[in-house]
Structure 1
């Protein structure tokens, strides 16, 4: 696959291994009046004047890997959905976004500053669902709020090209990630229905898949991606054939393999498992024992 793909006014710069984390895929949209970047992943640091001359960065959501090139663009305006805005503006906002304990946040700050060139943007401003940017020459971008991964996660649709940048609805084999303080399993379930309804014929992801141009393939990939949620619930139910505490479940892991010991992993496991437990309790598939442990019904 070429390192740069072109779809009319949209250029997609592919990150390493089609944008596999910690890299990502960089979209640049050229209107008659305005040049816009969707996010700024690590690959942004390998792009020359085409990136340096962007007028506006629209963040589809805020995480460290989507801000890795912002340090190069102090002149550009930055906009992000209002629910993620504080996370873009300051480290304190990012800490609330992650929701990790102080020792984990300290370790994460060292990582994001060293590996992702993290610089907050206190000048960033917010947009809301349905926001439209007219870039000139008939090029229009519309935001569609699709929360779950983060509270402010959005798809950015270049309507003139029928191209939807769907961010971290990345169609990977890992499946949906909803392990942070502003993440939501229930919202992600709804988002996975809504993203299929976007008026698009081209779908671009931040990671892994990069670009899909066949709707049947997109829907098949989306179904496989979404199925990971129920697979996780089934895995938990298997664990809960015998009583387990939340701490015991975190130790057994639901998301990451043993040996993958990045500082945030236990927090992500805990947040994710807790959401699944709440869902399974509401469905009557598990119960809480007097000692606080959980067991399948």
Structure 2
């Protein structure tokens, strides 16, 4: 589905819901034909002259954003410099994905779950796991792409992943925030190199920018004419902050990551896939380390934490 935001700036939505393995893309139909992200699926791209796309910008190296790179055979591919090596080196990619944390948190190592085959829709042309991608250039914070009538600025918004980027058409007030997506259950920061402190700063940066239109990878278009975008972003950030606060209260007695994950205030643990359980534990682990660094909790053995004071 193509949603025209302006004459040349167009949102490409998957035919299915914009959830894994799909994501929204942004199409700049200007003098320099440009796409942001490649995860909307072959059915969505059937409406696009993909062989004429000259520039493909990747917001970050997660499967649901890069699985359709092969559709853009003539495009120059660029990605954030902070993640450049994850497109080239499988071991770095596995660290980036959290593979090496699996055994610690799940009790067994399962390479097939994190980097093997899985059943995917037929219009997704790649398999989950490491894909070597030859990048034609690297993106850094503040880079400006002059595409014709459209000027596009790269904004480094780490936390979700270290090289996570947003792209801002400032003149039009349209910002593509990628996976800072205003999901009701809060942001995701469950990767091996995700960082909640950086994520918090990134969301606050978006609040300061206060775009007229916010386009995300997995949800609808947010328009300041109807939506209070700064308030929505703050509410989005408040979700994990509230969970952290409740976790700290719960740590009045020694608890494990498993104990915390099973509490109702964490949500979404029971009946979930192994991926969901793993990433839930990864995010709890990051909060515990953050609280430990702040002197609010201490680790008393290999698995247990307790509140200080």
Tell me the TM-score normalized by structure 2. Answer: 0.84
What is the match of residue 36 of structure 1? 34
**Secondary structure, aligned partner of 1:106:** helix
The Cα offsets for residues 63-116 of structure 1, whole Å up to 9 and x where unpaired, read as 000012212122211101011222334544432311213844432333478454
Alignment of 1:110-125 (within 5 A): 110-111=116-117, 114=120, 116-118=124-126, 119-125=131-137
Asked if the contact 1:25/1:43 (under 8 Å) is kept, the reply is: no
The CA deviation at 1:25 is 1.3
**Secondary structure, aligned partner of 2:178:** coil
Q: Which structure 1 residue ranges, 4+ long, deviate > 6 Å from structure 2?
A: none
| In structure 2, distance between residues paired with 1:291 and 1:129 | 39
The CA deviation at 1:256 is 3.4
What is the match of residue 19 of structure 1? 18
What is the match of residue 182 of structure 1? 193
What is the match of residue 269 of structure 1? 280
The equivalent position to 1:139 in structure 2, one of 145, 150, 168, is 150
| In structure 2, distance between residues paired with 1:36 and 1:27 | 8
| In structure 1, distance between residues paired with 2:219 and 2:118 | 21
Asked if the contact 2:190/2:282 (under 8 Å) is kept, the reply is: yes
Tell me: CA distance 1:124–1:292, structure 2 relative to 1, closer, same or farther (3 Å).
same
What is the match of residue 75 of structure 1? 74
What is the match of residue 112 of structure 2? 106
**Secondary structure, aligned partner of 1:108:** helix
Asked if the contact 2:222/2:229 (under 8 Å) is kept, the reply is: no
Asked if the contact 2:262/2:269 (under 8 Å) is kept, the reply is: no
Asked if the contact 1:90/1:122 (under 8 Å) is kept, the reply is: no
- Are 2:206 and 1:207 aligned? no
After TM superposition, the structure 1 stretch with the greater mean CA deviation from structure 2, 84-93 or 108-117, is 108-117
Tell me the TM-score normalized by structure 1. Answer: 0.87
The Cα offsets for residues 180-225 of structure 1, whole Å up to 9 and x where unpaired, read as 1121011011111111222631110001233434385211211111
Q: Please provide the CA RMSD for this pair.
A: 2.7
What is the match of residue 94 of structure 1? 93
**Secondary structure, aligned partner of 2:186:** coil
Tell me: CA distance 1:12–1:247, structure 2 relative to 1, closer, same or farther (3 Å).
same
Gaps of 5+ in 1: none
**Secondary structure, aligned partner of 2:273:** coil
Tell me: CA distance 1:266–1:20, structure 2 relative to 1, closer, same or farther (3 Å).
closer
| In structure 2, distance between residues paired with 1:291 and 1:22 | 35
What is the match of residue 253 of structure 2? 242
The equivalent position to 1:155 in structure 2, one of 159, 166, 171, is 166
